[in-house]
Structure 1
Amino acid sequence: MNWNFSPRILIQGIDQDCAQEYLQQFDGHRKDIVAGITDQNLDFTFDGIPVFSLITDAFTEGAATPNASEKEMTTSLIFSHPYLVLNAVYEAITAQIKQIVIYSESVPPLDLFKIYQKAKLKDVKILGTSQGGILIPEEYYCGLNYGNIFQKGNIAMINYADQIIAVTIAQYLQKFDLGFSKVINVGNNLLSQIDWDLWLKMLDEDKNTEVILINLGEISTKETKNLATSIEKISKPVITYLLDKNHLKSKINNNKAKVISDQIFNNLYTANSSELIKEYLQNSKGIITEDYQAISELLISQ
């Protein structure tokens, strides 16, 4: 099962501030948005995007369709309030949408459990929660902020942390003219269930990807073991960067990048947990580094 990069995206929770901030960044790609669904503001409008209260209303008005056509919805991107995410996911699944990206943060744990249970039952792919997003530079944008910062190249990046980490690293790698084939933000929620096999297999088979960079913030033992197992199944080189707040800050000289890196603190683990993660991953193939400056050298050498 692979990801469908057809740009036919539904926005749920379009009246949330984070959704509006996201959409303001991508004027040229609003044509990729089939429709928007509001959480509560029935009078909400957004320039160039038809807005409705329910997905069924979008069907009725002809803005979208669950069937194969130029208006088919391939993906739902959810910005809804945390307590409304479960209902939003259920509505999207009922509408036969097979890919769901959840940007919303702080989704209740029991709701998360129900989401993954329902998605597995209905064979629906979930990316996120907590700032989930995916992009192909200059081609496809779904949930990742500051998409213009990611220049094209042959590096695929999986980011298990705040999106701002991926942005900071992309800015740093621009100094070495290094760009990306695909960028996947799997979120930063310890309760999220990551389909490492899906993402790594997709990147391993991607003709535009030569090396895979994985950024790891705080991650559970179970997910670390799953990641190590998935890395063993692929053939392309993998570099894993274990985030270290103080080292990362000290190595970024660009003022804007430093402002961004100042927001890293809450998503990093202690030295002890870092050692445990290294212990699990060192038994798999691939390179592990905690040195921010080493990332560019390692990527270039592959």
Structure 2
Amino acid sequence: MNLTPDSKVLIQGFSEFISATHVAQMKAYGTNLVGGVNPGYGGQQLHDLLVFDLVEEVVAELGQIDTTIICVHPYQVLDAALEAIASDIRQLIIISAGVPPLDMVELLRKAEAKETVVVGPNSPGIIVPGKILLGTQPSEFYNPGSVGIVSRSSTLTYEIAWELTRADLGQSISVSIGSDAIVGSSFLQWLQILDEDENTEAIVIVGQPGGGSEEVAARYIAEAIDKPVIGYIAGTHAPPGKHWRQTGTLAAVIGRDPDFGTAKSKLAAFKKANVPVAERPSQIPELVKKALK
């Protein structure tokens, strides 16, 4: 991952998923936004960014791009992402929500073949506090520090960051991997990145009902992660049989354990892996401080 202030960053699309405020916030944070892509608007200015019709035009004029932030209509995400991959952009952040699952399957096959990291869809992106903001996370909730955050949620990601900041616990990297049914990079990939990151001393993992990614992450933590990990599972009081809109569609599969995809299953997996779990976000700083001691 190239997550430095020197990274060249592109925005593809200017839909309802991103606003002038988000663009201004990234610029103010020091993110090197070099331009935007919006077919039919080439040569114009949008949110003080020079706009091109095609990604290849940006690369031809400005050189290699490190990261693209994709904010197009969900049914246009696959085309936008494949255009970026064809231009050798190796970090894709998809803000758009509701990307068709079959489109994501095709995209992830292409991304794996090209060794491209995909964050999202339905993600507010990544922030390295004090260095770079990629997406729509509110930077005012963050301070530089040593706690890494990896989450499936959007708003909970920065709520937990704010709880840590208020407790004088800064953050090293914070990423929301996205909460659509099928997403790109996984808990496992980011746990490995944070475990190897020299600036990260502890990790907070935030899950929610639907799917089995938290259970897989818990096993990986027990087997491969050396740094202390604190967990939080949202939706623990949701009525049985109710699934969250984005993630629940793949959770109810005939023949699986009736607890598959539930908060109960995820809590049990973390307990088995000896991962301390907060009952509410405000408890996370206390658990992090205890783990660091």
TM-score, length-normalised on structure 1? 0.81
Give 1:284-295 correspondences, 5 Å limit. 284-295=273-284
Change (3 A) 1:296 1:81: same
Pairwise CA distance, 1:266: 6.0
| Paired position in structure 2 for 1:259 | none
User: Is the CA contact (8 Å cut-off) linking 1:39 and 1:81 kept in structure 2?
Assistant: no
Counting matched residue pairs gives: 272
| Paired position in structure 1 for 2:241 | none
| Paired position in structure 2 for 1:35 | 35
Please say which of residues 103-112 and 228-237 is displaced more in the overlay. 228-237
The alignment status of 1:10 with 2:2, answered yes or no, reads no
User: Is the CA contact (8 Å cut-off) linking 1:190 and 1:218 kept in structure 2?
Assistant: no
* CA RMSD after TM alignment: 2.6
2: CA distance, partners of 1:17 / 1:41: 17
Matched to 2:26, the amino acid is F
| Paired position in structure 1 for 2:271 | 282
- Corresponding residue SS for 2:49: coil
Pairwise CA distance, 1:19: 2.4
Provide Cα deviations, 1:142-176, integer angstroms capped at 9, x if missing partner. Answer: 11421221112211111111x21112222233331
User: Is the CA contact (8 Å cut-off) linking 1:99 and 1:124 kept in structure 2?
Assistant: yes
2: CA distance, partners of 1:132 / 1:219: 19
Give 1:42-61 correspondences, 5 Å limit. 45-60=45-60
2: CA distance, partners of 1:33 / 1:230: 35
| Paired position in structure 2 for 1:91 | 83
User: Is the CA contact (8 Å cut-off) linking 1:155 and 1:181 kept in structure 2?
Assistant: yes
| Paired position in structure 2 for 1:254 | none
> Paired residue for 1:134, among 120, 126, 130?
126
Structure 2, unmatched stretches of 5+, are 239-243, 252-258
Pairwise CA distance, 1:203: 0.8
User: Is the CA contact (8 Å cut-off) linking 1:38 and 1:53 kept in structure 2?
Assistant: yes
Change (3 A) 1:138 1:216: same
Pairwise CA distance, 1:227: 1.1
Provide Cα deviations, 1:89-142, integer angstroms capped at 9, x if missing partner. Answer: 110010011111111100011111111111112211111111151111121111
Change (3 A) 1:193 1:50: closer
Change (3 A) 1:33 1:213: same
Which aligned runs of 4 or more in structure 1 are off by greater than 4 angstroms?
A: 39-44, 265-270
User: Is the CA contact (8 Å cut-off) linking 2:117 and 2:184 kept in structure 1?
Assistant: no
2: CA distance, partners of 1:246 / 1:44: 50
Give 1:249-260 correspondences, 5 Å limit. none
| Paired position in structure 1 for 2:100 | 108
Pairwise CA distance, 1:17: 3.2
Structure 1, unmatched stretches of 5+, are 66-71, 248-264
2: CA distance, partners of 1:204 / 1:131: 22
User: Is the CA contact (8 Å cut-off) linking 1:156 and 1:183 kept in structure 2?
Assistant: yes
| Paired position in structure 2 for 1:22 | 22
The alignment status of 1:184 with 2:183, answered yes or no, reads no
The alignment status of 1:230 with 2:220, answered yes or no, reads yes
2: CA distance, partners of 1:137 / 1:285: 29
Pairwise CA distance, 1:192: 1.9
Pairwise CA distance, 1:280: 2.5
Identical-pair percentage: 27
1: CA distance, partners of 2:247 / 2:184: 19
> Paired residue for 1:300, among 265, 289, 292?
289
Matched to 2:167, the amino acid is F
Please say which of residues 276-285 and 137-146 is displaced more in the overlay. 276-285
2: CA distance, partners of 1:267 / 1:239: 24
Change (3 A) 1:100 1:27: closer
| Paired position in structure 2 for 1:253 | none
Matched to 2:16, the amino acid is D
User: Is the CA contact (8 Å cut-off) linking 1:137 and 1:148 kept in structure 2?
Assistant: no
User: Is the CA contact (8 Å cut-off) linking 1:245 and 1:268 kept in structure 2?
Assistant: no
Matched to 2:174, the amino acid is V
Pairwise CA distance, 1:47: 4.5
Provide Cα deviations, 1:172-193, integer angstroms capped at 9, x if missing partner. Answer: 3333122211101101112224
Change (3 A) 1:157 1:11: same
> Paired residue for 1:78, among 62, 70, 79?
70
Change (3 A) 1:113 1:266: closer
